[in-house]
Structure 1
Amino acid sequence: MSSALSASQIREAFLHFFEGRGHRRVASSSLVPQNDPTLLFTNAGMVQFKDVFTGREKRDYSRATTSQKCVRAGGKHNDLDNVGYTARHHTFFEMLGNFSFGDYFKADAIAYGWEFVTKTLGLDTKRLAVTVFNGEGGIPWDEEAFELWAKQGVPRERIYKLGLKDNFWAMGDTGPCGPCSEIHFHQGDDIPCAEVAAGRSCQGVACDCDRWLEIWNLVFMQFERKEKDAPLIPLPKPSIDTGAGLERIASVVQGKRSNYDTDLFQSIISRVSELVGKRYTQEDGASMRVVADHARAAAFLIADGVQPSNEGRGYVLRRIMRRAIRHGSILGLNELFFFKVVDRVIELMGDAYPELRESRSFLLEVSRHEEESFRRTLDRGMKMIDESVAKLKQAGEKKLSGADIYYLHGTYGFPWDLTEIILRERGFEADVEGFWKEIEKEAQKNKFAGSGDKAVGAVYQQVLERVGQSEFLGYEGVGHEGEGSVRAILKGGAEVPEAHAGDEVELVLDRTPFYGESGGQMGDTGRIVAHGGKTVAQVSDAQRPVPGLIVHKAKVTEGTLKTGDMVQASVDGERRSSIRANHSATHLLHRALKMVLGEHVKQAGSVVAPDYLRFDFSHFSPMTPEQQDQVEDLVNGWVRENTESQTRIMSLEDAKKSGAVAMFGEKYGETVRVVTVHPQTTELCGGTHVRRSGDIGLFKLVSESGVASGVRRITAVTGLGALQYVRETERELKKVAEMLKTSPKDLVKRVEATQKRVKDLERKVEEVSVKAQTGSSKDLLEQARDIHGIKVLATRVDQADANVIRGMADQLRDRIKSGVVLIGGEKDGKVVLLVAATKDVVARGIHAGNLLKELAKEVNGRGGGKPDLAQGGGEDPSRIPAAFDKLYELVQGTNLA
């Protein structure tokens, strides 16, 4: 065994090995699966090839090899709590894989696996065993794989047969499936085994102990199940899907019993150890392992566009980050630390995954921001848990209710699983099932509801397989018109041979100038004409329900349209031109934002419409007016330069090497379009663009706002739309200027003067109001109660401003000479409370702030303040009389000096 190989060397050795055997090295796909609403995260190497395995997607290679980023976390039932406490559990991991799409099968796959493990890695064959499918459920045992392993020299007694649970794979109840075959490594019989401890024998590769470790899994995709529980049908082109966890292989190669002891983690753990000021040990380093693991997951998820939030993927990321931050607190890290650990991850893995380095500043900012937010939440949440535990002890109970857990979660953002862990540490239980029932009552707010991509209808896939891909004509020349033939007509989700006037249908042409919505660019509208103008269909939208297929949503207004008809398709040219200008402006805006705000800016979504563009981007603070002006100036400067746009077709790998930026939400094939609207910006894009940057005309930023934590949104207009926006703004300014009897030039001065006059008048009104309210203060003072020799007055004043109430309280306090005054009232449906105390009663032990804290609880609110003056509020005006009664009770119970 070679102990010199680092994890990076193992990764490269794997990819190089299979490249040398005819495999295409394919980059890891994003952790956010594209066009797959069934997955929260990419959790296996085969995810990006799912459509290739099913035949929905064709590529120009039949063998591939990858090192795929994977995350397995989230949902009701997950083993997140085990991370850090076991040798193998992780949130983020890398899956090495080699794939055959109808090319080689079992013989080569087994030979490749055995050669790499025994020759390239040099693992001792005496410590290896393999498994094959034993035959269950009417499926024959995999005798072929058994003999192929024996042919490689594996002793037959070390070829184990396992059942459906361990050695059979299926994509679902229907679809591709097949037997599995695994390679296991013997770590040693000194590792504890529950079976042995119970007086039985270790079950070897089938045992749950860690004596045997699975390091390689071959899936032989050789069957298809058409219907649930139906007999298996052999596939005409069997395929191979291999998965080998890099973390596990590194631990074996480096002679480690725990993945955390490999170089993949030790550098990160060392950084945690430095920050803590304590040496890491396997026995008491669980919290350090948690921080190290979760920092890896956070770095990669944020780099792939996931933001901490309270829903879907963002909620899982938030849970991972907050669990790490809490374990940092357990270690004594009370200052911001998590971003420093994330930085070590970037340093360690940035060579293999350049997206980490490219997004470094943003990754650190997101990590810092989330920790600042959670530390505030943690303090509040811990106080709430302390109170809950005290109540449980008082009631003699051991379980916190699901409603209480949900209150912590929904009101304070405190993760439910963190509540469970803290309770467990204190010897209590959490009603997790009850919590999930509360979640369901709230419309399952935090349950993942899909990736947002449109579900792929089987009918569209069937049409694509029958008629082939649609040829898009919109890139050539003006690209507004083109001739093609009708290849399919769909009505009500089913294919029909013809459509008549009045029918609303979906049309598929072999060639079309209509752009199908994708990459944020809206679909085209226009019309399709046949039979010399006798048949007309008005197109209201164009979509791409499956890659390669453009579907025209249309209504037949005249004649009859049949499959096979030749048609003339015409796009609304003016609308298309506006869309092109807005799309090109989006590219220029993206670059301008990077130059003004920093390279951390990444696109987080966009809409390119005919009348506006909307661009979401990663940034934490609102843009200043000066920054907005800088962005506008940059974009308009590039527009005035009127440079010629360029489009190149190249491989995805070459495009990335050239520095082309990938746009958010697009799924790229092996061949891509690289668009350069201006030398400052080069991006991968399948949309339509202007021929010269000057065609954009004018760029005008309309608004800039926040849409989520760390995500800002810009709305802008171009060309005639920008001109119209400027004109409308000018008209409104002129109207306002006329109303104020001034010119637009002097409008600001006039508004400032008007505002000053309004404030002066409001102040005079308040003064009059105070006098009116306190005019009868003599009568009010007669209502004061004498308690312990001091006067206590509680009076109600509704619909009064805070300044009015404060002024009234000052006057009453001055007139009462010695005592406490409470003014309470309702304002806009809320409770306003103010307590004022004279200096002599403060000296005797009365504290206005403490009084108000208790009074506010009576009205379902909160407040506090100084010993002589305190202010607060509440939600329940009906409880104001109860607050008054509480004041007298509190003063009565105060031990005065």
Structure 2
Amino acid sequence: PGSPDEDGDRFVEIWNLVFMQFEQQADGTRIDLPKPAIDTGMGLERIAAVMQGQYDNYETDLFKKLIVASAEHSGVEPFGDQNTSLRVIADHLRSTSFLIADGVLPSNEGRGYVLRRIMRRAMRHAQMIGCAEPLMHQLVPALVGEMGQAFPELVRAQALVTETLLLEERRFRKTLDRGIRLLDEEVANLGQNKVLDGGVAFKLYDTYGFPLDLTQDALRAKDLTVDEDGFNAAMDKQKTEARAAWKGSGSTATETVWFEAREEFGATEFVGYNTTHGEGKILQIVVNDKTAKTAAEGDEVSVLVNQTPFYGESGGQVGDIGVFVTESGATIEINDTHKKLAALHVHVGKITAGNISRGDVVQMNVDQENRNKIRANHSVTHILHSALRTSLGDHLTQKGSLVAADKMRFDISHSKALTDSEIRKVEDDVNHIIRQNSEVTTRLMTPDEAIKAGAMALFGEKYGDEVRVVAMGSDPEGSDYSVELCGGTHVKRTGDIGYFKIISEGAVASGVRRLEVLTGNAACAYSAVQESYLSGAALTIKAPASELANRLSSLISERKVMEKEIADLQKKVAMGGGEPGSGDDVKEINGIKFIGQVLDGIPAKELRGLADEAKGRIGSGVVAFIAVNDGKAAVLTAVTDDLTADISAVELVRVGAAAVGGKGGGGRPDMAQAGGPNGAKANDAIKAIESAIA
């Protein structure tokens, strides 16, 4: 104390002990803890630095190799002036790679936004050290080489990590330069002020994807700060406006009703795993977002009962539909079942006969056919998940799903489109498990027991103290083909699914692909329709279906040849049977050769080639062609290089465009193009261009 080093910067804490003896009260007094304790914490990487004789973590062998790799790819010295940026890149590369390997993808909310902030801070530092191209994805092999043996999930997810980093850095670079320009402009306007307006920082965040800490980093280098209160105020204003819009929808009042219902009645008991029928007692009725003691025929209602066989929408599976009937004969057609506050099954429907009251006993019947279709679609998501991981790699994880009676949608973390052969392989594997017709088993376990038993838990899902573990199918070694934690409803045997067909595959977000799927009769009907299309096409071109692809390829090639021949003939007809610049079509205007023609029916895209031909034939001069199609005019002017100092193709094309009712036009001094809606004035446009040359 009292020395220049009293702030402790010359010391690095590698281990600490905290002796906990007192509990401090609100008034500042302290009382003895019932059981004093000692808490200890060790910095593993700091211990590694000590053992290796280094002063900090970044000089250990692990970080050195990442820093050297980063320096090599960016063309800077590894331990020179850019050392801070290289350290940031190395540290953030490691954290982002592990997050992606664990199933987190960059997004604008939640854990995905935390990942995006870390990634973008590193990418900003890559830009600061002069990297013109994306850097971080190039460093993944070095990270996997260092840590892949200890953490095999990095090896499995290497392709996904690489692709995700590349896509995110490309996306960020598109807005980074514009954001930096805005920041530089605002900094230049600060004058003597050292604080950037919080509203500007929020615009950088909201419009250009700059997290606040990234803006602060950029300002810190210039000895400036940001008005954090202003930033937070702008953020709060946006949230308040969004919250007001949500309140206006009536959702707030409705949610309050269900909070109160949960407090009063507790959770709904779900009895629908083994039955689609049951008896229950009406606990709460909601009409027009308000609780009601009774409801009459024609009312749209939300009904809460003490127990139900109706599955409430959750985990991607839609809610059940069906009917409630009271002892007095009142009937409620249930068209959806929601799950509120993770505890209440809320039945939404319309009273089609009689009146209902709180306390009524109801017979509940789930629509059996609809439930069976949902069961099949949900069970196939499990089989599909395993088939995809088997074919494409363990890096692949489920990112979302929609399980309905008429369709199933399945989102996966995968950076590339599935090829036709990959889709066929997955379909074959899934249908093989379906044909096994093996029993689908369900066991209740704790989450830890389930994971130890090999069950797959979906990242981000919340599980209770007891979970359902669903297993189905068998692999070549005799083990379960699919084992997952799941609270949804499933088929009894895989054969109940019937048949499986992928009908589409595409991208829905960065690094996320979506499969749309049909099962059972719907899949069979879809395949039958596709087969009828195939048969119809084969009949039309008079070839067996097996030769359809080759025959179509041949026809397409023949068509291209014919189209070229027709285009050549059209050109000759439009040019009067000759070639552009070959004779009578050439005029002289004040000693300058000029070709000006209206070409009916010639596609606008052909004009550039025709103009090049004409320029080549006349050697020196000006060309003006106007193509007329469907009453509209496309104007092109061209000037040989020796004349561009005195005559501009851009100026000429604007004259021609004005004559046919167009505006502007653009290009280069030697060639320019424009258009106009009045093709009937094409000849007037040629004359106007002639006059402009004269």
SS of the residue corresponding to residue 320 of structure 1 reads: helix
- With 487-496 and 672-681 compared, the bigger mean Cα shift is at 487-496
Deviates more, 1:631-640 or 1:285-294: 285-294
SS in 1 for 2:340: coil
Pick aligned residue for 2:17 from 123, 137, 143: 123
Contact in 1 for aligned 2:57/2:63 (Cα 8 Å): no
- Alignment pair present for 1:721 and 2:522: yes
Q: Displacement, 1:567?
A: 1.9
Aligned to 1:810: 612
| Amino acid in the other structure paired with 1:808 | L
Q: Deviations over 1:54-76 (max 9, x none)?
A: xxxxxxxxxxxxxxxxxxxxxxx
1:274 aligns with 2:68: yes
2:370 counterpart of 1:575: yes
**1:596 pairs with one of 368, 375, 391:** 391
1:565 counterpart residue number: 360
Q: Deviation string for 1:373-402 (max 9, x for gaps)? A: 556776x769x949997xx89xxxx99999
- Listed as ranges, the matches of 1:509-588 within 5 Å are 509-531=305-327, 534-588=329-383
Aligned partners of 1:251 and 1:261 also within 8 Å: no
Q: Measure the CA separation in 2 of the matches of 1:444 and 1:860.
A: 46
Distance in 1 between residues matched to 2:435 and 2:357, nearest whole Å:
48
Provide the residue aligned with 1:94 in structure 2: none
1:286 to 78, 84, 87: 84
Distance in 2 separating the partners of 1:744 and 1:863? 49
Whole-angstrom distance in 1 between the partners of 2:427 and 2:47: 55
Letter in 1 for 2:286: L
Aligned equivalent of 1:700: 501
Aligned residues of 2:571 and 2:602 also touching (Cα < 8 A): no
Q: Which amino acid aligns with 2:511?
A: G
Give, as a single letter, the amino acid of the residue that structure 1 aligns with 2:614: L
Amino acid aligned to 1:718:
T
Task: Kindly indicate whether the alpha-carbon contact (under 8 Å) linking 1:837 and 1:848 is maintained by their aligned counterparts in 2.
Answer: yes
Question: Offset of 1:498 from its aligned partner?
Answer: 2.6
How far apart, in 1, do the equivalents of 2:24 and 2:614 lie? 89
* Deviation of the 1:562 alpha carbon: 2.4
Query: Which residue of structure 1 lines up, in the alignment, with residue 484 of structure 2?
Result: 683
Once the 2 structures are TM-superposed, how far is the Cα of residue 636 of structure 1 from its aligned partner?
Answer: 0.7
Q: Distance in 2 between matches of 1:833 and 1:303?
A: 56
Contact residue 483 and residue 512 of structure 1 kept, 8 A: yes
Specify every segment of 5 or more residues in structure 2 that has no aligned partner in the other structure, as ranges: 1-8, 474-479, 654-661
The question of whether the paired residues in 2 share the 8 Å contact of 1:291 and 1:325 is answered with: yes
SS of the residue 2:31 aligns to = helix
**Alpha-carbon contact 2:575-2:599 (below 8 Å) kept:** no
State the match for 1:233 in structure 2: none
Give the aligned residue type for 1:141: D
* 1:365 pairs with one of 148, 155, 163: 163
Q: Tell me the CA shift for residue 771 of structure 1.
A: 3.0
**Counterpart position of 1:203:** none
The reply to whether residue 470 of structure 1 matches residue 268 of structure 2 is: yes
8 A Cα contact 1:859 1:877, kept in partner: no
The aligned counterpart of 1:759 is: 560
Distance 1:251 1:626 in 2: 46
Contact 2:277 2:365 in 1 (8 A): yes
Residue 483 (structure 1) aligned to one of 279, 286, 290 = 279
Q: Which residue of 1 aligns with 2:441?
A: 646
Native 8 Å contact 1:268 1:292 kept in 2: no
Q: Displacement, 1:351? A: 11
Answer yes or no: is the 8 Å Cα contact 1:831–1:859 preserved in 2.
no
Map Cα deviations across residues 394-413 of structure 1 (whole Å, 9 max, x no partner): xxxx9999999999999998
CA 1:279–1:664 in 2, change beyond 3 Å: closer, same or farther? closer
Query: Structure 1: how far apart are the matches of 2:604 and 2:195?
Result: 44
Matches of residues 409-424 of structure 1 in structure 2 within 5 Å?
none
Work out the CA distance in 2 between the residues paired with 1:434 and 1:823.
59
After TM superposition, give the deviation of residue 482 of structure 1 in Å: 1.7
Q: Distance in 1 between matches of 2:315 and 2:135?
A: 37
Q: Note the C-alpha offset of 1:714.
A: 0.7
CA distance in 2: counterparts of 1:767 and 1:335, whole angstroms: 44
Q: Aligned Cα RMSD in Å?
A: 5.9
Q: 1:426 to 1:131 in 2, by over 3 A?
A: same
Specify whether residues 499 and 310 from structure 1 end up closer, same or farther in structure 2 by C-alpha distance, changes over 3 A only.
closer
Post-superposition CA distance 1:421-450 (Å, at most 9, x none): 769868999999999999999999999x99
For the Cα contact (< 8 Å) 2:285–2:302, is it kept in 1? yes
Q: 3-state DSSP class of the match of 1:544?
A: strand
Q: Which residue is 1:141 aligned to?
A: 27
8 Å contact from structure 1 (residues 381, 408) kept in 2: no
User: Any idea what SS the aligned residue of 2:356 has?
Assistant: strand
TM-score by length of 2: 0.72
Q: TM-score, normalised by structure 1?
A: 0.57
Look up the match of 1:637: 432
Structure 1 residues 661 and 847: CA distance shift in structure 2, 3 A: farther
Report deviation, 1:694.
Answer: 1.0
Q: Name the CA distance, whole Å, in 1 between partners of 2:196 and 2:646.
A: 38
Q: Which residue of 2 aligns with 1:76?
A: none
How many angstroms apart in 2 are the aligned matches of 1:822 and 1:406? 52
Which sections of structure 1, spanning at least 5 residues, go unmatched?
1-86, 88-116, 134-139, 154-182, 184-215, 217-243, 853-857, 892-897
Which amino acid letter does the alignment assign opposite residue 32 of structure 2? L
Q: Give 1:308 deviation, angstroms.
A: 3.5
Contact 2:377/2:404 (CA < 8 Å) preserved in 1?
yes
- Candidates 411, 416, 420, aligned match of 1:621: 416
Does structure 2 conserve the Cα–Cα contact (< 8 Å) formed by 1:830 and 1:874?
A: no
Aligned equivalents of 1:320, 1:445: Cα separation in 2: 28
What one-letter code is carried by the residue in structure 1 that aligns with 2:525?
A: Q
Give the 3-state SS of the residue equivalent to 2:17 in structure 1: coil
Residue matched to 1:498: 294
**Structure-2 change in CA distance of 1:484 and 1:152 (3 Å):** closer
Displacement of 1:830: 13
Partner residue, 1:21: none
**Deviation larger for 717-726 or 319-328:** 319-328
1:294, distance to aligned residue in structure 2 (A): 2.9
Residues in 1 aligned to 2:621 and 2:223: alpha-carbon distance in whole angstroms: 48
Quote the Cα distance in structure 1 between the aligned partners of 2:463 and 2:255. Answer: 21
Q: Measure how far apart 1:285 and its partner are.
A: 3.7
Change (3 A) 1:469 1:287: same
3-state SS in 2 of match to 1:689:
coil
Q: In structure 1, give the amino acid aligned to 2:481.
A: Q
Q: CA-to-partner distance for each residue in 1:157-177, whole Å, 9 max, x for gaps? A: xxxxxxxxxxxxxxxxxxxxx
Q: Supply the distance in 2 between the matched residues of 1:313 and 1:828 (Cα, whole angstroms).
A: 55
Aligned to 1:771: 572
Identity rate of aligned residues, in percent? 37
| Secondary structure at 1:457 match in 2 | helix
For residues 437 and 743 of structure 1, the distance between their equivalents in structure 2, rounded to whole angstroms, comes to: 69
1:458 aligns with 2:256: yes
Q: Deviations for 1:67-86, whole angstroms, at most 9, x for unmatched residues?
A: xxxxxxxxxxxxxxxxxxxx
- SS for the counterpart of 1:604 is strand
Cα distance in 2 for residues equivalent to 1:312 and 1:445:
20
Q: Could you tell me how far apart the structure 2 residues matched to 1:765 and 1:442 are? A: 60
